[in-house]
Amino acid sequence: MKIMKKRTTLVTFVILTTALSNISSSFAQDPTPTQSSTPSTSSTAAHWYDKYSIKGYTQLRYNRLLETNPKLKCEQCDKSWGDGNGFFLRRARLIFSGDAAERLYIYIQPDFASDGAPNSQQYFQIRDAYFDVALDSSKEFRFRLGQSKVPYGWENLQSSSNRLALDRTDGINSAAPNERDLGVFFYWAPAEIRKRFKMLVDKGLKGTGDYGVVGAGVYNGQSANRPEGNNNLHKVVRVTYPWELPSGQFFETSIQGYTGLFTVQNKTTGISGKDTSTDQRAAASFIWYPQPLGFQAEWNVGKGPKYMGATHSIGSANLQGGYLQAMYKIDVRNQSLTPFTRWQYFAGGKKQELDARAYRVRDVEVGVEWQPFPALEFTADYTISDRRMADATQQSNNQKGSLLRLQAQFNY
């Protein structure tokens, strides 16, 4: 019995030793998935700043070359037109953005070159501060909450860093001064079209970025960084689509409209009329992306506050305006040269200006943008302008003239 127990123990020991030897050899020859595919914890630790990015741009301008009329000014577009002006920081912006969570995207953009008070410049001001909440994993359906661009007008949605002409047109931009307001917007676009929107920017085709195929929302309506002035929210709807032809050419068509009430708060003492007036517009947009020849056309009609000279009051009046633009993109040795020309017209009131100032604008611009490398752009824009305006302090002020405008833009 003892001999049999010893033999059994010996056999068991030999089997265990052989098995352990085989397992050890197997580990040595074929590492486990954990060993082969997962780096050490120290090298994969996520940092909060991995989720976010910082970028921005600055625009430096000079508008006094070849100037024929120093009294010609443009309060809406560029306050450094005309007498008493020199070099001017038009924009100086930093953009902080990223995914705070899988379905929560944040975007905050301050401007360090805002006018704070008369004869005071370079004030800090929030331009964008919004949060996108996605309803699905591909982010085709999302709500945008906070201060952001109002989805009205193609050129309003196009970033100033991408635009060829130095300023937006009076007719389109007067619909949403500063392009932004505080509210809630809904956007929808298929994943494939969202990629197309991004590509139209990344390839230097001057796109707007992703504001959805369908955009709709409610917002205060008094423009960015101003509190609501009445008990009525503005409503807006926009439908757009970037088409692709078999040749690879892209073009985009859009329709949009908004309605609400606007309260004129910047008024001359003693002026009569209603403070709050109907504010509504509809617009159509057509964009033929420059590959290499491009066209832009937008026009809007509507009704809004306007200074009435005959009665020395503010009332609701019809308005219309838009623009036509042509450009040609030339790429040579990683540099880009884009000559352009633009004609614009506007007749109506500008709700954000003193007394909802009445305007009639006819401008023609001829210019060229040169981008020697992505971080640097130069633009020369020769403007021929005919502007007539009226408010309670000036019943008729018609200024005509021309000037050469220069801009250096730094992208970082």
* Distance linking the first and last C-alpha atoms of the chain: 88
| Segment 107-154, tens digit of pLDDT | 999 999 998 767 788 999 999 999 999 999 999 999 999 999 999 999
Q: What angle do CA 90, 238, 174 make, to 5 degrees?
A: 35
Q: What is the pTM of this model?
A: 0.87
| Segment 70-96, tens digit of pLDDT | 999 998 999 999 999 999 999 999 999
pLDDT bin (cut points 50, 70, 90) of residue 43 is low
pLDDT bin (cut points 50, 70, 90) of residue 378 is very high
